[in-house]
Amino acid sequence: MNSPVRSRITAAFTDAGLSGALCATDIDHGTTVTLAADTPVSTASVHKLCLVATLYREAAAGRLDPTTPVDIPAAARAPGPTGLAVMRDAARLSLRDLASLAIAVSDNAAADILWDHLGLDTVNATMAALGLPRTVAVHNQAGLYATMVDDAGSTGPAALVDPAAVARLTVLDPHRTNRSTPREITALLTAIWRDDLCPPPWAEELRAVLGVQAWSHRLASGFPFDDVRVSGKTGTLPTQRHEAGVVEYPDGGRYAVAVFTRAASTAVTLPAADAAIGRAARIAVDALRARRGGP
């Protein structure tokens, strides 16, 4: 990548009080824009991409039926701020509808039912089979939260804005938690969009599921056009804000983008940091489009 583009991406992060890593790939031409793209990162909820991708690869191989219904008791659900995690009554949903919840609103409880059904080893084996050896799941969502509670200590959630407490969180260390690199996450998205992960009709359904995310304040904020489709998955931990997804233009251009950031501030709400993800992604995609001759 030429240095002016890298400098602009770095400036987008710096202006928002962030450090960041990025990989953007033209899905059809193979060209890339990168910044620290091979740096290990803790993936947080971005790892739900790996989980849901594995579900559809297993379905395509005939090893499971994604329409299988699952009875979900009201008790003992993974914690989280959305979806089944905050609902009070028993429910019954199919595996693929649980996948939709895990993507659409990053539902931790829905994701953990899928983790339990598939197993960490199956998800990791799928990533390895795709040539993504650095994309590894260590724990499910409940396990991730339990680690944060243990590390935060007796002060509980209030500690997560204390810089000293945040420094103790093992979930921020990519060597001790769910992890990948920006390059490998874009390779996963490329495989999904090129039908390499699974064939149609499973591939179309998987892409449809990945297109239902409710959040538009990060990656999608860089592409505020009615005719540009952004399919993505966010990930958030104290000081960390991420998103990975695919940007599709009406002229057929398709770009896989993964952006991982860390803020100097421990504040929970940092709109400038969220917007910087979209800005950095737009700079990268514009550079890729300039190479292919798009507007």
List, for residues 60-98, the tens digit of each pLDDT value: 999 999 999 999 999 989 998 999 999 999 999 999 999
- How confident is residue 2, by pLDDT bands cut at 50, 70 and 90? low
Contact 140, 78 (CB under 8 A): yes
- The stretches of the chain forming alpha helices (DSSP H) are 3-15, 48-60, 95-104, 108-118, 120-129, 141-152, 163-166, 182-193, 202-210, 271-292
Q: At residue 202, what is the residue type?
A: W
Average pLDDT estimate for 214-225: 96
**295 pLDDT tier (thresholds 50, 70, 90):** very low
Question: Is residue 257 a contact partner of residue 281, using CB atoms and an 8 Å limit?
Answer: yes
Percent of the chain topping pLDDT 90: 89
| pLDDT of 154 | 62
Residue 292 pLDDT grade (very low, low, confident, very high; cuts 50, 70, 90):
confident
How far apart, in whole angstroms, are the C-alpha atoms of residue 190 and residue 78?
30
| Interacting residues of 290 by C-beta distance below 8 A, sequence separation 6+ | none
What would you measure as the largest C-alpha separation in the chain, in angstroms?
57
Q: What is the rounded average pLDDT for all residues in the chain?
A: 95
- pTM for this predicted structure: 0.95
Q: Are 275 and 259 in contact (CB under 8 A)?
A: no
More confident of the two residues 165 and 247: 247
Would you give the distance in Å from CA 226 to the centre of its chain? 23
Counting beta carbons within 10 angstroms of the beta carbon of residue 228, is it exposed (0 to 12), middle (13 to 18) or buried (19 or more)?
middle
Rounded CA-CA distance 269/264 in Å is: 13
Band the pLDDT of 152: cuts 50, 70, 90.
confident
- How are beta strands 32-35 and 18-26 bridged, if at all? antiparallel
Which pair of structure tokens corresponds to residue 99?
A: 């996948």
